[in-house]
A and B are shown apart, each in its own frame.
Chain A
Amino acid sequence: MLREKALKAVYPRLKDQVVVTIMGAVAVELYNLGHQPNFFYLEHGMGLASSMGLGLAVSLPNEKVTVLDGDGSVLMNLGSLSTLARYRPPNLTHWIFDNESLLSVGGFPTATGSGTDLAGIAEKAGAEHVVLADTIEAVEEAFAEASERNGLSIIVSKVEAVGPASFAMDISLLENRFEFARHLQGLANG
């Protein structure tokens, strides 16, 4: 499955949620589907997107928060899966795209290609709802369920190690940051 196709399939739901992506291909692919003020692209700080999602979810209990993460980033902050499972914010979906590589920096293989099982780690960390979704149909179903249920949802999708033709995004990092924060504060006050 191509991650880009998976994102496209759930974009109608994503655009109504508070979304944090990691850097690189995921950010560009979501941006290219149509930027929204409720989308934040974490362009550095590998591993911390899920921690940001936790901070957002506990601070915005009336919003659905989705983190679009990757195997390389999750492996850099594995403890975060345990923290998420410990506090299990009911409005958080942590969706991990596993392409078994560090695609954006040259495609070096990660440990998921040699057996590390992120869904298994999430389950053993204490997450109660962990779903594997490796086809578009499965993704649509898993994300619809995650969006509607009241509980922490973790979705793991194996995807091809293919990224966009260009990594260009016509939005500066700080523009994205201030637009996102202003939008969220409107939600929090409204």
Chain B
Amino acid sequence: MPVSVKNSEALYAALKSAGISLISALPETWLVHLMRMADDDPEMTLIRLNKEEEGVGISVGAHFAGRKSAMMMQNHGLLTSINGIVSVAQLYRVPLLMFISYRGEMGERDPWQTEGGRVTEPVLQALGIAYHNLSDPATVAHEIEQAQTLAQSSLRPVALLLTRDLMWEE
């Protein structure tokens, strides 16, 4: 499996340090190790979704209950979650933290991923969602902490894009 175990571990440790205790996710290749780590961790509640938009509702409920959560999905999952993000998370000012695998970007070999890759950042920009690319395992802890700080202070969704450089080992 060329998905990086080491970098997935760095990401997972950073998530935990940020106090995240609930992850809702739809499995995809790049997230396979993260999902396994969440599943094996008795301190983490992992909710596997049928469709990504459900995760917006779950995170909103968790936030109202005072619990820190995150969504984990592919960028196509972001596209399918847009109404929930706009009509619940943004409308109700919820600090939704989203970890999004950035498929279809530079280096992508799968033709079917390329359209989603092309529109991911423009869509985030159109939604006014602050986002940041994660590519260096040495800095992810700091970057995740900063993303969560911004989400909590602005009471708005923040997206972290998991890049090929971080997730994939050729």
Q: Closest B-chain residue to A186, C-beta based?
A: B66
- Cα–Cα, bound, A51→B84 (Å): 11
- Cα–Cα, bound, A84→B69 (Å): 18
Shortest distance in angstroms between A163's beta carbon and chain B's nearest beta carbon? 21
A40 within 8 A of B: yes
A42 within 8 A of B: yes
Residue among B22, B57, B60, B87 having the largest count of chain A Cβ atoms under 10 Å: B57
Collect the chain B residues with CB atoms within 8 Å of residue A86's CB.
Answer: 48
Is B91's CB under 8 angstroms from A56's CB?
no
- Cα–Cα, bound, A48→B56 (Å): 8
Residues of B27-76 at the interface with A, using a CB-CB cut-off of 8 Å, are 45, 47-51, 53-67, 69
A82 within 8 A of B: yes
* A83-B93 contact given A55-B57, A56-B62, A188-B66, CB 8 Å threshold: no
A165 within 8 A of B: no
Q: Closest A-chain residue to B45, C-beta based?
A: A58
Chain B interface residue count, CB cutoff 8 Å, equals 31
Collect the chain A residues with CB atoms within 8 Å of residue B47's CB.
Answer: 54, 58, 83, 87
Collect the chain A residues with CB atoms within 8 Å of residue B66's CB.
Answer: 59, 181, 184-185, 188-189
Residue among A43, A59, A82, A188 having the largest count of chain B Cβ atoms under 10 Å: A59
B139 within 8 A of A: no
Out of A42, A45, A59, A185, name the residue touching B22 (CB < 8 Å): A59
Is B50's CB under 8 angstroms from A83's CB?
yes
Shortest distance in angstroms between B158's beta carbon and chain A's nearest beta carbon? 18
- Cα–Cα, bound, A51→B57 (Å): 5
* A51-B56 contact given A82-B50, A83-B47, A83-B49, CB 8 Å threshold: yes
Is B64's CB under 8 angstroms from A54's CB?
no
Is A174's CB under 8 angstroms from B92's CB?
yes
**A46-B87, A56-B65, A60-B65 known; 6 other A-B pairs, CB under 8 Å?**
A45-B88, A77-B54, A79-B54, A174-B93, A181-B63, A188-B67
